[in-house]
Structure 1
Amino acid sequence: MKLRHAAPLLLVPLALAGCKKKPPADPTPAVDTTATIRPPSSGGLTDADRERLRADSVRLAEEAAERERRGREAAVSVARDALTDIVFFEYDSDEVTATAQRKLEAKAAVLRANPGVRLRVEGHCDQRGSTEYNLALGQRRAEAVRAYLVNLGIDESRLSTLSYGKERPLVEGDDEESLARNRRAEFTLAGGTLTTVPAELRR
């Protein structure tokens, strides 16, 4: 009889043991917000890598400068060719032809773009006629060219003239083609340096 009453009493401590509070979990470790921030890695470049990159950069810059220099030289060559391009005349004439006018307009553009440049105009003739007559005709041709350039706005002080008459033929021969090529005005750079190409020649 006493054992029946003792069993419930034994269950009480067991129930109390099951109701005990669980021990608190370990606290989360605090984050150190004062840690030093390191700069990004250099990518693992060695001194040799950096030297190679520097050398490549220098080489590319030199190549670009060389391309620019060649481009300037080519452009100035175009301007020089236009300035020295020969103009031709009809037989026994000092009249500036339509073809010659177009060439002279290109020359005027070059001279306007390069105000320090001076030009000498040299008149020539074929071998027909006397020396005296052809010297005078060559001079008239040179002066006709000079007058045309002045009318295009070029200061006459930048233009000089000279006649060689028939003394300096461009080609030898007495056929009509050779004679026609000797009736001409040639152009020589008499001072200054060509540095600028006019827009008209860059099209």
Structure 2
Amino acid sequence: MQILFWCCAASLSWLAGCQSSPMAAPGLTPAQQAVLRDRGFVEAEEGWELPMSGKVLFPFDRAKLEAPARARLIELGRALSGAGIHRLRVEGHTDARGSDAYNQKLSVERAEEVKSQLVSGGLAPEGIEVRGFGRTQPLLIGDDAENRRVAIIVPLR
């Protein structure tokens, strides 16, 4: 009976040691995680997220970025590619003005614009998934400017 107890205890101890901590991102090296942190990414439920709110916001009814925002995204693409991070998800959002169909289309166009700049920085287009959420996921109710945004996510899976 004691042998069974010690075998179970040893197995549980071994399993506990194999579990990854919630802060450790599977598949990303410590160096890659450092690059993400240095670029402003934060750990989120689905992976590492760079919330573009406050960094790259879109003017009302537009999907084109100004030159400074394009330059920042090209540099981000270079940094991620240089760190060996090649899989991203780009999520576009809009404010609440306009129809659902129009906002869905605009959110995808915004995400595609960001993807285009990241590709200009050296990331492969096939490694970047684009999603549009229209006005369905506002950051702040009633704050149109904050909701015209794109988020960049390095997924965990």
Structure 1 length-normalised TM? 0.51
Question: Structure 2: any 5+ residue segments left out of the alignment?
Answer: 1-29, 43-48
Who wins on radius of gyration, i.e. which is larger?
1
- Report if aligned partners of 1:119, 1:158 keep a CA contact under 8 Å in 2: yes
Q: Structure 1 pair 188/92, CA: closer, same or farther in 2 (3 Å)?
A: same
Matching residue of 1:19: none
Please state if 1:163 is matched with 2:142. Answer: no
Matching residue of 1:180: 145
CA RMSD of aligned residues (A): 2.7
Q: CA deviation at 1:71?
A: 10
Matching residue of 2:154: 189
Q: Structure 1 pair 100/162, CA: closer, same or farther in 2 (3 Å)?
A: same
Matching residue of 1:129: 98
Tell me: higher relative CO, structure 1 or 2? Use CA pairs within 8 A at least 6 residues apart. 2
Q: Structure 1 pair 102/81, CA: closer, same or farther in 2 (3 Å)?
A: farther
- Report if aligned partners of 1:117, 1:190 keep a CA contact under 8 Å in 2: no
- Report if aligned partners of 1:123, 1:139 keep a CA contact under 8 Å in 2: yes
Count of matched residue positions in the alignment of Structure 1 and Structure 2:
119
Match of 1:114 among 75, 83, 87: 83
Alignment-mate amino acid for residue 122 of structure 2? G
Matching residue of 2:41: 81
Q: CA deviation at 1:139?
A: 0.4
Q: Structure 1 pair 153/127, CA: closer, same or farther in 2 (3 Å)?
A: same
Question: Structure 1: any 5+ residue segments left out of the alignment?
Answer: 1-69, 193-203
Question: For residues 71 and 111 of structure 1, what CA distance do their matches in structure 2 show?
Answer: 11
Q: CA deviation at 1:76?
A: 5.0
Alignment-mate amino acid for residue 186 of structure 1? A
Q: CA deviation at 1:99?
A: 3.6
3-state SS, counterpart of residue 171 of structure 1: coil
Structure 2 length-normalised TM? 0.65
Q: Structure 1 pair 128/149, CA: closer, same or farther in 2 (3 Å)?
A: same
Q: CA deviation at 1:190?
A: 2.3
Deviates more, 1:126-135 or 1:116-125: 116-125
